[in-house]
Every structure is written in structure tokens, then in C-alpha cells.
């Protein structure tokens, strides 16, 4: 269901993002590895086709420029029914806003399933566009992110800065410690 026919790379402020598509919808936006290299292709036989991602690139350019707060793209995520429910809720979290895993679980009608929500978010195939970076610990700390906590902090800082939230954009709580975002 989530097979990719094409791929491309997108150079972003957070590194090379791997984009995948089945030719009709975006099937993946994968963050760089911790060493900065692009995520690996799941099917190395997939051809690179940059032109298939023209609209994705346009919307990502606008997001990183602070001109776009929501994405309007056809998406195909695959996943289990529970994962899709969790990912659909991610798309409802407003730009520059954070919620806890517990709140996300409550919103999908599964209070008490915050760990399952965290696991689903960890398998989110379309990072940034389905903004799992906006989900934080109940105590306000940054926890769990496939791209690493520094990247999660950067994305939250970026959104806060674009909204003009100087107080929030000057520092971020990571693992219970207040650390400046660079």
C-alpha cells in the first residue's frame, strides 16, 4: 500500500530530506540520519524523479521561509488503523502549538494509550508535514523524535520564531533541562 515508485531529495535547513511518492501521493518524507546523511531508500530500484515532487518542494520552501503553516498535499501513509488515527490527529495540531502524547491519545478517543501513540508517532512516514515534532511529554519536555531531539527543538523553535513568540523561541526544554536552541 505504501510502495514508492519515485524518490527525490530535498535540501532543507535541517539536512537532506528523502521524499518518496507512488506517483499520485507523497508516501514518505524521511529525516536525515543522525550522522547527517540522507535516510536510505527502502527500494533501491526506485527511480529518482525530481519533477514528481515540484509541489512538495514548493510547500516545503514556503514552510521553511515561514510563509506556510499547513500543507495541502495528497498523502498515503499506509500503517495500521490505530497508526492512521494517530497520524490524522497530528495533522490537526496547529502550527507553533504543542500537545502531549496523553492529549493526543485523548483526542483520538484512546485515553491511557499515550505510549501506543508515541510508538505510532515514531513510525510516522511523513515527518514535518504530519508534525509529530509538535508532540511533547506531559511535563513539557521534548521526548522521542526520529530525527533526534535537537531537530525536534529546531522545528519547534522555527515555528515559534515565525509566529514571533520570542519567549518560546529563545529556549526549549529538553529532558527536563532548559537549553538554548542554536
Query: 124 - beta bridge partners?
Result: none
- Its pTM stands at 0.86
> What ranges do the domains of the chain cover?
6-64, 81-177
pLDDT for the residue 52: 93
Q: At the topology level of CATH, where does 81-177 sit?
A: Arc Repressor Mutant, subunit A (1.10.10)
116-166 tens-digit pLDDT: 999 999 999 999 999 999 999 999 999 988 888 999 999 999 999 999 864
Q: How far apart are CA 46 and CA 81, in angstroms?
A: 27
Do the domains spanning 6-64 and 81-177 agree at the CATH topology level? no
| Closest among 4, 33, 28, 5 to 18, alpha carbons compared | 28
Over 80: is that where the pLDDT of 66 sits?
A: yes
Residue 132 is among the residues annotated as catalytic for this protein: yes
- Banded pLDDT at 175 (limits 50, 70, 90): very low
Enter the CATH code of domain 6-64: 3.30.160
pLDDT for the residue 105: 98
Query: 19 - beta bridge partners?
Result: 8, 29
Active-site entry in 60, 132, 136, 155: 132
Amino acid at each position: 500500500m505504501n510502495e514508492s515508485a519515485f524518490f527525490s531529495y530535498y535540501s532543507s535547513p535541517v539536512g537532506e530530506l528523502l521524499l518518496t511518492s507512488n506517483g499520485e501521493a507523497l508516501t514518505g518524507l524521511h529525516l536525515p540520519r543522525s550522522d547527517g546523511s540522507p535516510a536510505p531508500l527502502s527500494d533501491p530500484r526506485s527511480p529518482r524523479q525530481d519533477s514528481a515532487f515540484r509541489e512538495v518542494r514548493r510547500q516545503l520552501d514556503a514552510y521553511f521561509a515561514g510563509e506556510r503553516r499547513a500543507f495541502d498535499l495528497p498523502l498515503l501513509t499506509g500503517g495500521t488503523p490505530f497508526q492512521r488515527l494517530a497520524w490524522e490527529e497530528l495533522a490537526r495540531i496547529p502550527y507553533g502549538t504543542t500537545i502531549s502524547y496523553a492529549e493526543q491519545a485523548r483526542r483520538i478517543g484512546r485515553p491511557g494509550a499515550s505510549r501506543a501513540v508515541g510508538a505510532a508517532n515514531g513510525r510516522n512516514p511523513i515527518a514535518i508535514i504530519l508534525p509529530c515534532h509538535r508532540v511533547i511529554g506531559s511535563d513539557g519536555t521534548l521526548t522521542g523524535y526520529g530525527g533526534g531531539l535537537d531537530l525536534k527543538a529546531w522545528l519547534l523553535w522555527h515555528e515559534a520564531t515565525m509566529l514571533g513568540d520570542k519567549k518560546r523561541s529563545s529556549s526549549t526544554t529538553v529532558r527536563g533541562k532548559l537549553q538554548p536552541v542554536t
